[in-house]
Amino acid sequence: MDGYVKTIWGKIKKEHKIAFLSAWITGLIIHIPVYLMDVPNHDGLASMYFDQNMITSGRWLLGIACSVSSYYTLPWLIGLLSLLWVSVAAVLLTELLRIRSRVNICLISMLLVSFPALASTYAYIFTADGYMLGLALAIASVLCTDRLKYGYIWGGICLACSLGIYQSYLPFAMILCLYMVLGKLLKPAGPERNHSRWMEILQFPLMGVIGFALYEGILHVLLLIQGKELDTYQGINTALEMPSLSFSAKIAGLYRDFFAFTLKGQVLYHNVVSAVLLLLILLMFLFGAVGRCLQKGYQKQPLNYVWILLFIAIYPICANIVLLISPDVNYHLLMRYQWVLLLILMVAICDKKEDTADLKGNLWKVIFSCALLCLVLFYGVTDNIAYSNLQKKYEKTYSYCLRLADRMEQTPGYYQGIPVAMIGVVSTKAYPQTDITGDVTSNMIGMTGDHLLYTAKNYQAFFKHYLGITMNIVDDDAMETIYYSDAYQSLDTFPGANAMKVVDGILYIKLE
């Protein structure tokens, strides 16, 4: 058995081992706090057990993708499985980009696992393993297309599966396709190879068409079998309908969002140190990219300038394709993982520049690598600041709900399971704002704020799972009538002395 394992291990390329282990070890160091704590966010409260059947959101494969870890929220198991898929994604990515330098392989893997979009995904840890499988499949779709015979078919299948798990990794695949196309266009080609080059390029859009058609076909067949329709969530049900905005307005909004998030999103950087690091990385990248172009003689072909400019112009469209499909979508950080490719592709481009014989000539590479390594450290700190606030949100929510439960039980007429009329908010006037991480976590969805509770259903779930108390919330129609009643409006805001009262067998609670 040992010999068999050694044989398999020996057949794995060193570059693949480095990529996997760099991602795995870095991921454990950065994200182990969230793996070891059982802290839900507002969505997680309703997902202590969740079969992940989200076909109405277009995610027909998510249930299968998450089934390995069971449908219970087990952070350590889901965390390790998700990290396994991210590490596999790092291997696929470095192989696709043909990274030669072991240092650069480590940097790409570390960037992938440290980028704050992954930390934000862990705020929704109940589904993180499935999502990271979707990311790996998105990268695999491009790798299959580029390397395999009839790869556009296998790539299309991988893309369809990725979309069936989570549609937000489509931009990741599109950017990688765009980069691969640019590489093929920049390669010198005589008349005899010109035809084959274009055939290679056409495989990428063909893969996309096959993948999207397969995804849509399976989705609608399964919807028909289950007798369901697409949900209105995030505009998924109107994604393919005629747009309410003109195409030019969509494109303009897409570019505005891309540059606004890149420059002001407080994710790529959020303080002076990280801004200086990014500026240094950009300067060293430009030096390396120009040097590579000169080495390869790209400047001798005027058409190459056109290809490079087109790449730069199309990149934001690929990154923000979701906004082109659905302009009104809530475009949060879970859907912006592809921004890490801005850094990863810089590494890939510079990796192709041949080294010079002397250390002085390679000084720019040392500075480039050190700055990226510092940025990885910066992202790791950012992730842990977010985890710290998530933990504090839970502690404050638990304390708040414990006080609320005690007051409920002291209210005359209360009994376990009494109907409760309340609006699920926490008063911003009665309690101080204690989240001090806003400058760091402002765009990290699921990580910001002081409490986990936003709706009455959130309270109901928290009371059930963490306090063992039944909170029987009245329906929305009854709550609307009660809310405008004199009896409800006359109550104090909790924790006021007169914040609760039993009226006609219903416990009125005024929180806001």
Tell me: the pLDDT tens digits for 27-65?
Answer: 999 999 999 998 888 888 888 888 888 888 889 999 999
Q: Assess whether pLDDT exceeds 70 at residue 244.
A: no
Q: Assess whether pLDDT exceeds 60 at residue 243.
A: no
* Residue 245, pLDDT score: 66
* Residue 190, pLDDT score: 61
Q: Quick one: DSSP state of residue 503?
A: E
Q: How far apart are CA 281 and CA 370, in angstroms?
A: 9
Handedness of CA 197, 177, 165, 132 (dihedral sign): positive
Angle at 492 between CA 486 and CA 496, to 5 degrees: 160
pLDDT digits over 381-425, tens only?
999 999 999 999 999 989 988 999 999 999 999 888 899 988 877
SS3 500: strand
Q: Quick one: DSSP state of residue 498?
A: T
> pTM (2 decimals)?
0.92
Least confident of 270-284, 347-361, 375-389: 347-361
CA-CA distances (angstroms) from residue 208 to 55, 154, 214? 21, 11, 10
Tokens of 51: 């079969």
pLDDT digits over 419-474, tens only?
998 887 777 777 778 888 888 888 898 888 888 888 888 888 888 999 888 888 88
Q: How far apart are CA 137 and CA 131, in angstroms?
A: 10
Section 119-147 average pLDDT: 96
The residue written with tokens 């397969």 in the block is 214
Work out the number of other CB atoms within 10 angstroms of the CB of residue 497.
Answer: 8
Which residues lie closer than 8 Å to 87 by C-beta, 6 or more apart?
19, 20, 21, 23, 24, 27, 109, 113
SS3 422: coil
Q: Would you list the DSSP string of 260-321? A: HHHHHSSSS--SHHHHHHHHHHHHHHHHHHHHHHHHHTGGG-HHHHHHHHHHHHHHHHHHTH
* Residue 296, pLDDT score: 75
Q: How far apart are CA 206 and CA 212, in angstroms?
A: 10
* Residue 362, pLDDT score: 79
* Residue 241, pLDDT score: 54
Which residues lie closer than 8 Å to 297 by C-beta, 6 or more apart?
188
Section 111-128 average pLDDT: 95
Q: How far apart are CA 510 and CA 512, in angstroms?
A: 6
Band of residue 189 on the pLDDT scale cut at 50, 70, 90 = low
Nearest CA-CA partner of 98 in 291, 349, 304: 349
More confident site: 402 or 194 = 402
Q: Assess whether pLDDT exceeds 50 at residue 242.
A: no
* Residue 235, pLDDT score: 54
What is the average pLDDT score of the chain?
89
Q: Assess whether pLDDT exceeds 70 at residue 118.
A: yes
In percent, how much of the chain has pLDDT > 90? Answer: 53
Q: How far apart are CA 33 and CA 37, in angstroms?
A: 6
Which residues lie closer than 8 Å to 175 by C-beta, 6 or more apart?
315, 318, 319, 338, 341, 345
Q: How far apart are CA 494 and CA 426, in angstroms?
A: 9
Work out the number of other CB atoms within 10 angstroms of the CB of residue 132.
Answer: 28
* Residue 385, pLDDT score: 95
* Residue 187, pLDDT score: 81
* Residue 357, pLDDT score: 53
State the helix-helix crossing angle for 75-96 and 102-114, rounded to 10 degrees: 140
Distance of CA 268 to the CA centre of its chain: 14
The answer to whether the beta carbons of residues 453 and 424 sit under 8 Å apart is yes
Q: Quick one: DSSP state of residue 467?
A: I
Phi and psi angles of residue 54, each rounded to the nearest 5 degrees, phi first:
-115, 40
